Chains A and B, each alone.
Chain A
Amino acid sequence: MNTETRLQLKNLCKSFGKRRVLNNVALALGAGEVILLCGPNGAGKSTLLRILAGLEKPDRAELSVSDAELRSWRHCKQRLLQQTLYLHQHPYMFDGSVRYNLAYALPRKLDAQARRERIDQALAWGGIAHLQDNPSKDLSGGERQRVSLARAWLRQPRILFLDEPTANLDQASRQRTLDLLTPLKESGMSMVIASHDAHHFAPLADRTLYLHERQLIEAQPILNSRILPGEPDLSVRIPA
């Protein structure tokens, strides 16, 4: 990991009606860095990721993308959309085949031959070649997750935001997701992973942050047997 700052965020505030969910949140994300974002349901993890991906407007925020100067979110929105990619908790598949969905992530100027080759590579990378002609709406949760990661691999964003990527997946699918994220990290892609599954992503993460009382604080993954009684799990320790 080098010292280049991919994304810097300051003074982020976001309210829904009278309820403030994020208050003066600050964050810095380095090149190739993976941040694990934890917090209780409704804490604002998804909202934070969506704002950083340029999909949701904050009440106030100052951002710098790829070492540019700090500017308002509105000024940075286009840059965020170009350089980041947000993966939904339940990935959306366009109505069409898996190939069609992968093709969507490619630049339109690419010629037909190059498109075919890139899609074949993505199918092989994601281990989904056998699904290539299947209607994407019929895919299972784990298969959708792999297709969405293959779309990310094709698009090669500088920053990848993942919202609960292993929610509702079985152990094998969770492991496959982790196996696909590892080479993305090695390729230099920065990531922010919002997940309750701290145990699972701890080996991949460089830092763990906890969304506590509308602000981000540094945390550490720890063994915690309270979440699943009798079955050791890693949760996070937050400073007192």
Chain B
Amino acid sequence: MSRQGPLGEWKLLFTQTAMVLGQIALAFPILAAMGHSALQAVDKRAWETARTLGASPLRAFITLMHEARFGLMAALLAAFGRIIAEVGASMMLGGNILHYTRNIPTAIALETSKGEFAQGIALGIVLLTLAFTLNALLQNFQGRGQPVT
């Protein structure tokens, strides 16, 4: 992504777009692998029952995703956990520019490297709170029960 690299013409380095692309690159393999195994784990009869009851391939696939939703949610959480604390990719691709590409993990890295441990810990608590809140919301969504007819 650097100016001399193959994607240099796109001038992405040290931009938010580059950070997003970096995070996607990190999260995608986790999402794909865990999502695939979650769908594979669904009983083969689920697909067949959906199809024989008249569902189109698309509706049958949506049904399959519904049956695998706990596994898919776990994949989502694992991918989220991977990127929310990511420092290296954000620092390299975003450059840690104040008010532009600085995010909480890179800010924590900067503050602790300056010796501002109190600031680092405070930001860490904010990050943890965000992560816990999102996890709790997703857990709540998972356990909410039956779909409405």
Which residues of A are at the interface with B, using a C-beta cutoff of 8 A? 50, 53-55, 81-82, 84-86, 88, 90-92, 94-97, 99-100, 102-105, 107-108, 115, 119, 135, 151, 155
Contacts and interface: CB of A to CB of B under 8 A. Distances in A.
Contacts of B54: 81-82, 105, 107, 155
B141 to A, nearest CB: 14
A81 B52 contact: yes
A92 B43 contact: yes
B113 interface: no
Interface centre among B55, B66, B67, B147 (most CB of A within 10 A): B147
A151 B54 CA distance: 11
B45 A92 contact: yes
B149 A103 contact: yes
Contact of A85 (B52, B66, B148): B52
Interface string B23-54: 00000000000000000000101101111111
B146 A86 contact: no
B15 interface: no
A111 to B, nearest CB: 13
B67 A95 contact: yes
B53 A85 contact: yes
A54 B53 CA distance: 12
Contact of A94 (B49, B52, B148): B49
Given A95-B67, A100-B146, 11 more contacts: A54-B51, A54-B52, A81-B52, A94-B67, A95-B66, A96-B147, A97-B149, A100-B148, A102-B149, A105-B54, A135-B146
Interface string B114-133: 00000000000000000000
Contact of A55 (B51, B55, B59, B149): B51
Interface in B89-137: none
A135 B59 CA distance: 21
A55 B48 contact: yes
B46 A94 contact: yes
B63 interface: yes
Contact of A88 (B49, B66, B67, B147): B49
Nearest to B54: A155
22 contacts: A54-B51, A55-B52, A88-B45, A88-B48, A88-B49, A90-B45, A92-B46, A94-B66, A94-B67, A96-B146, A96-B149, A97-B149, A100-B146, A100-B149, A102-B149, A104-B53, A105-B53, A108-B59, A119-B149, A135-B146, A151-B53, A155-B53
A85 B48 CA distance: 10
Contacts of B43: 92
Contacts of B46: 92, 94
A143 B45 CA distance: 17
A206 B48 CA distance: 28
B41 to A, nearest CB: 13
A53 B63 CA distance: 20
A96 B46 CA distance: 13
Contact of B149 (A50, A53, A54, A115): A115
Contacts of A105: 53-54
